[in-house]
Amino acid sequence: MIKNAKQPSLAQVLAHLPDEDPAFGQVITIANYRRHDVIATPRDLDQKLHILMDGRAQLVCTNSEGRRLVLATLEAGAIFGEGALIDGAAPAAFAEAMSDCTIWVLPRADARIMTVRYPILGWGLLQTFGKRLMQVESHLEDVAYKKLPERLAALLLELADKNDTITGTSHQALADRLGTYRETVSAILRTFKREGWVDLGYRRIRLLDVPALELAANTY
């Protein structure tokens, strides 16, 4: 008996569906996107079910002034576009690639049939809902109880790689995640730089003093 065997990810399980059921393979459209590409417009999310098979994406909304707010980040295995299953969902957000992505797309009629035939699709959608809700609750808690410098410090720690470096992320992207203005984020980063906590480059932020940022983020 094998103990502690690693369970396959949802994306890995879903990847076998076209082989198990040729009919499933015939109704899906496979699309590839590059970073920053729009994966789905609000209308697309209302009419088609999307499965993120590889890469990372985010759901974004904009206001009348063009300000962006990231509602949720999505990892491989995420299922979104619930408007294809729920009448009247009317999403106001669009989906955008955060990295190179592979997406499976099912039209509304086929999505409903396949979701009934394969409960794992509904389970995956429910999991995605749950993760999105947790992100929204965390964001609301941060907005209510933390100031922007604390929230930015926490975001830098979250995004940094094992070398304590964030690459390919603009100040605007950070502002979108925090629901604020790019100029505000840039000003706080300059303060962090003066404190010796970070080093700033073009689309690159290197964390020089992680303990100080952890303290600033109130994560101790």
pLDDT for res 134: 87
pLDDT band at 5 (very low <50, low <70, confident <90, very high): low
Kindly state whether residues 139 and 180 are assigned to the same domain.
no
For residue 90, the one-letter residue type is A
Q: Is the pTM of the predicted complex or chain greater than 0.75?
A: no
Instruction: State the Cα–Cα distance between residues 67 and 77, nearest whole angstrom.
Output: 28
pLDDT for res 1: 44
**Residue keyed to tokens 């100040």:** 171
pLDDT per residue as tens digits for the range 147-188: 899 999 999 998 999 999 999 889 998 998 888 888 999 999
Say if residue 219's pLDDT is above 60: no
User: What does DSSP say about strands 101-107 and 29-33: parallel, antiparallel, or unpaired?
Assistant: antiparallel
Of 143, 174, 203, which marks where a domain is finished?
143
pLDDT per residue as tens digits for the range 33-62: 999 899 999 999 989 999 999 999 999 988
Full domain range(s) for residue 176: 146-216
pLDDT per residue as tens digits for the range 89-107: 556 789 999 999 999 999 9
pLDDT for res 220: 44
Instruction: State the Cα–Cα distance between residues 105 and 27, nearest whole angstrom.
Output: 8
Output DSSP code: residue 82. Answer: G
Kindly state whether residues 121 and 191 are assigned to the same domain.
no
Kindly state whether residues 52 and 128 are assigned to the same domain.
yes
pLDDT for res 23: 87
**Residue keyed to tokens 């985010």:** 58
Say if residue 140's pLDDT is above 80: no
Kindly state whether residues 32 and 103 are assigned to the same domain.
yes
Of 127, 143, 159, which marks where a domain is finished?
143
Radius of gyration over alpha carbons of the chain, in Å?
A: 19
Kindly state whether residues 137 and 198 are assigned to the same domain.
no
**Residue keyed to tokens 């690459």:** 167
Kindly state whether residues 127 and 191 are assigned to the same domain.
no
Q: Please say whether the beta carbons of 40 and 107 come within 8 A.
A: no
| Structural domain contains residue 181 | yes
Kindly state whether residues 68 and 172 are assigned to the same domain.
no
pLDDT band at 199 (very low <50, low <70, confident <90, very high): very high
Kindly state whether residues 122 and 166 are assigned to the same domain.
no
| Structural domain contains residue 1 | no
User: What does DSSP say about strands 38-40 and 29-33: parallel, antiparallel, or unpaired?
Assistant: unpaired
| Structural domain contains residue 77 | yes
Please report, for the domain that includes residue 47, its CATH number. 2.60.120.10
Kindly state whether residues 110 and 179 are assigned to the same domain.
no
Of 143, 158, 184, which marks where a domain is finished?
143
Kindly state whether residues 30 and 51 are assigned to the same domain.
yes
Please report, for the domain that includes residue 199, its CATH number. 1.10.10.10
HSE value, Cβ hemisphere, 13 Å, CA-based, for 122: 10
Indicate the range of 13-22, 86-95, 200-209 predicted with least confidence.
86-95
pLDDT for res 144: 66
Instruction: State the Cα–Cα distance between residues 114 and 112, nearest whole angstrom.
Output: 6
Name the percent of the chain lying above pLDDT 70. 91
pLDDT for res 197: 95
Kindly state whether residues 136 and 200 are assigned to the same domain.
no
Quote the number of domains for the chain: 2
| Structural domain contains residue 80 | yes
Buried b (16+ CB within 10 A) or exposed e, 163-194: ebebeebebebbbbbbbbebebbeebbeebee
Hey, what are 172's tokens?
């605007």
Kindly state whether residues 164 and 139 are assigned to the same domain.
no
| Structural domain contains residue 120 | yes
Say if residue 121's pLDDT is above 50: yes
Q: How far is CA 66 from the centre of its chain?
A: 20
